[in-house]
Amino acid sequence: MAPTLTLCVLVAVGVCIVSLILHRIFGRSILDNIDGPPSNSILTGGFPLTPTSILCIWPPQENLPAFFDPDGWDFQQDLEENYGEVVKIRGLLSVCRQFSLLSTQRNSKKKPEQQLYVFDPVALQSMIVQQSDAYEEHPIYMKAYGLLWGPGIQSSIGADHHRYRKIITPAFATGKIREMIPLFYEVAEKARDGLISPFVSHGPRKLDLNNILGRTSLEVIGRTSIGYSFDSMIPGQDTRNEYAETLKELFPTVFKFKLFFPFLPRACEIGSAAFRRFVVDMIPSKTLHRARDMVDLMERKATQLVMEKKEAVACGQLDIEDDSKDIMTLLLKANLTAEEGMFLTEEELVGQTGIMISAATDTTSSALDRIFHSLSLRRDVQDKLRVEIVEAPEHMDYEQLGSLPYLDGFIHEVLRLCVIRRNTVTEDNHSFVLGYPPVTPVMNRETVEDTILPLGTPFIGVDGQQITSIPVPKGTTIYIAIQTANRNRRIWGDDALEFKPERWQNGKAGAQTERLCGIYGNMMTFLGGGRSCLGFQFALLEIKVIVSVLLRSFIFSPRR
């Protein structure tokens, strides 16, 4: 290492250590009284100040890797069982945050590394519904969405977000989605034929169900959102185009940079977009350049799709008054009648196209993966479901799809618990099934003002006193604990961790006295309030159609 660089690194490390010591001595926070798992990492602020621990700077954070680990079951379980329904988590790089390099909000009343993990139903209701203006989408994720897709509903807050939501919501009205059901069947049946065809031509063989479910979800949203086919779904052929490939690779590529995410809000403020682009071009990282090229490709494609649609409308090839058109046509139509300042610009239509396709594809396909995985492990559930489906009409309409009680209970239960914990379930012993919701076990928010978080279930603070509400300083990161809320024993009962579709029959589950503020089934899978999932009905119908089509033709077993 060059001497100057070595000196810079030493000075930076020295400054961090001094800051950390000062911070630990003088930095009091009103969140100190909330209990949470201990941290031993130098960069999370929870480390014991010994010479050995000072050397031990990796991993850079203690709670978060365990927290976000796909197999972090014990950690999540520990949070649920050993603390109150609001838990303090130690976040990333607290030392650097002292210098506001990472912090998105300057605030003296809290230690920036302290974050709250919330599953108390009253607290959730306050954050998501009553006091929602005080809790915004986390700036890191908003910036990330903005960089990936451009301006749109998921990369906006406040008035802009209200505007997007107002113009997009009618495209998801029940009447519109009901008309999409025949298309759901068309794509699901192509998927079924694609699965059957290799058996017919080559006899028994292994198939990649995960691949075909991903292709099916993308094709459904391509056709319904913009009237575009990404994949001819020709049996036996993987005919996906470049956009589809890119979409599949995008998140795994981008998440290789997850340690740098906290720098995004500040980094996006440095210089012009052209300058930032120049910096990205200059950084010698193949992966970064791959991510850049993927974003470019997706933007080009979305722009092309929007332009084609606009031209088709302009030259009369597409009748915008015809209600049975895709979501983009509905947005173009809504634009025509929108009040001043309420319509979507071309750039926003492009951003929205990318967001919509991404929001609908990974979510639904991972829910479907978990559904077929659960079915393969629970032959009893699979058989019972098949009996109900086979007795129903082959092509069901909206009402019929909603009227199959076991299918409905099964989908609710998968979306409550989802994927099966590895090594806990066998075909013989199926009583214990745990899982993650399909999008993420948590959603991030950040307080944009000082606020008070009320609690439904008071708990004892670190000082031994009862806490009935928590003053939360501006700039605090909050995790909406979707997964933990969905299996909170106080709400769901002692069998909360068991996979029981029957619990939904006769309206038993979902009608508990303790309410969660989610829009679907008294659970948080699709969130609630002003940022809840706009496509939840779409997703439910799509899933029901695909499950009913595939269960008629196949018996699913676990891979041997």
- Give the span between the Cα atoms of 265 and 280, in whole angstroms: 16
Shortest distance, position 443 Cβ to ligand HEM, whole Å = 5
Closest CB to ligand HEM among 20 and 180?
A: 180
Rounded to the nearest 5°, which phi and psi values hold at 179?
A: -70, -15
Rounded to the nearest 5°, which phi and psi values hold at 290?
A: -65, -45
Site for ligand HEM contains 484 (CB under 6 A): no
Here the tokens at position 276 are 């930032």
Site for ligand HEM contains 547 (CB under 6 A): no
Site for ligand HEM contains 365 (CB under 6 A): no
Site for ligand HEM contains 483 (CB under 6 A): no
Closest C-alpha to 180, from 212, 215, 213, 226: 226
Shortest distance, position 331 Cβ to ligand HEM, whole Å = 12
Binding segment for ligand HEM (CB under 6 A), chosen from 268-276, 392-400, 493-501, 521-529, is: 521-529
Binding segment for ligand HEM (CB under 6 A), chosen from 80-88, 197-205, 417-425, 437-445, is: 437-445
- Give the span between the Cα atoms of 544 and 407, in whole angstroms: 7
Here the tokens at position 240 are 């996906």
Closest CB to ligand HEM among 385 and 480?
A: 480
Which position among 104, 364, 451, 484 is part of the footprint of ligand HEM (CB under 6 A)? 364
Strand-pair partners of 445:
137, 478
Here the tokens at position 226 are 């913009």
Give every CB contact of residue 96 below 8 A, 6+ residues apart in sequence. 16, 43, 102
Site for ligand HEM contains 188 (CB under 6 A): no
Contact set for ligand HEM, span 111-150 (CB under 6 A): 137
- Give the span between the Cα atoms of 303 and 351, in whole angstroms: 9
Instruction: Kindly determine how many residues on this chain lie close enough to bind ligand HEM according to the rule CB under 6 A.
Output: 23
Site for ligand HEM contains 538 (CB under 6 A): yes
Binding segment for ligand HEM (CB under 6 A), chosen from 53-61, 241-249, 352-360, 547-555, is: 352-360
User: Is 458 strand, coil or helix?
Assistant: strand
| Interface mask toward ligand HEM for 373-412; x: CB under 6 A | ----------------------------------------
Which position among 116, 144, 153, 247 is part of the footprint of ligand HEM (CB under 6 A)? 153
Site for ligand HEM contains 367 (CB under 6 A): yes
Round the CA-based radius of gyration of the chain to a whole number and report it: 25
Tokens 């119908």 belong to residue: 541
Give the Cβ contact number of residue 560 at 10 Å: 4
User: Is 162 strand, coil or helix?
Assistant: helix
- Give the span between the Cα atoms of 371 and 352, in whole angstroms: 28
Shortest distance, position 28 Cβ to ligand HEM, whole Å = 32
Closest CB to ligand HEM among 61 and 537?
A: 537
Residue nearest to ligand HEM (CB): 535
Contact set for ligand HEM, span 215-254 (CB under 6 A): 221
Burial class (CB in 10 A: 0-12, 13-18, 19+), 400: middle
Closest C-alpha to 405, from 301, 509, 534, 316: 509
Binding segment for ligand HEM (CB under 6 A), chosen from 1-9, 467-475, 498-506, 522-530, is: 522-530
Rounded to the nearest 5°, which phi and psi values hold at 474?
A: -55, 140
Give the containing element (helix H, strand E) for 90. Answer: strand 86-90
* 120, 456 Cβ separation under 8 angstroms: yes
Which position among 356, 375, 404, 417 is part of the footprint of ligand HEM (CB under 6 A)? 356
Site for ligand HEM contains 442 (CB under 6 A): no
Site for ligand HEM contains 478 (CB under 6 A): no
418 is in an annotated binding site: no
Closest C-alpha to 163, from 416, 381, 425, 340: 340
Supply angle C-alpha 95, 96, 99, rounded to 5: 105
Which position among 531, 541, 545, 549 is part of the footprint of ligand HEM (CB under 6 A)? 531
DSSP string, 135-157: EEE-HHHHHHHHHHH-SSGGG--
Binding segment for ligand HEM (CB under 6 A), chosen from 44-52, 205-213, 229-237, 360-368, is: 360-368
Site for ligand HEM contains 359 (CB under 6 A): yes
Site for ligand HEM contains 103 (CB under 6 A): no
Site for ligand HEM contains 486 (CB under 6 A): no
Closest C-alpha to 350, from 332, 371, 368, 373: 332
| Interface mask toward ligand HEM for 293-322; x: CB under 6 A | ------------------------------
Angle of helix 242-254 relative to helix 209-226, nearest 10 degrees, comes to 110
Which position among 23, 24, 109, 165 is part of the footprint of ligand HEM (CB under 6 A)? 165
Which position among 44, 63, 105, 154 is part of the footprint of ligand HEM (CB under 6 A)? 154
- Give the span between the Cα atoms of 276 and 453, in whole angstroms: 38
Closest CB to ligand HEM among 95 and 116?
A: 116
- Residue ranges for the known binding site are 533
- Residue ranges for the known binding site for heme are 533
Binding site for ligand HEM (CB under 6 A): 137, 153-154, 165, 221, 356, 359-360, 363-364, 367, 438-439, 443, 525-527, 531, 533-535, 538-539
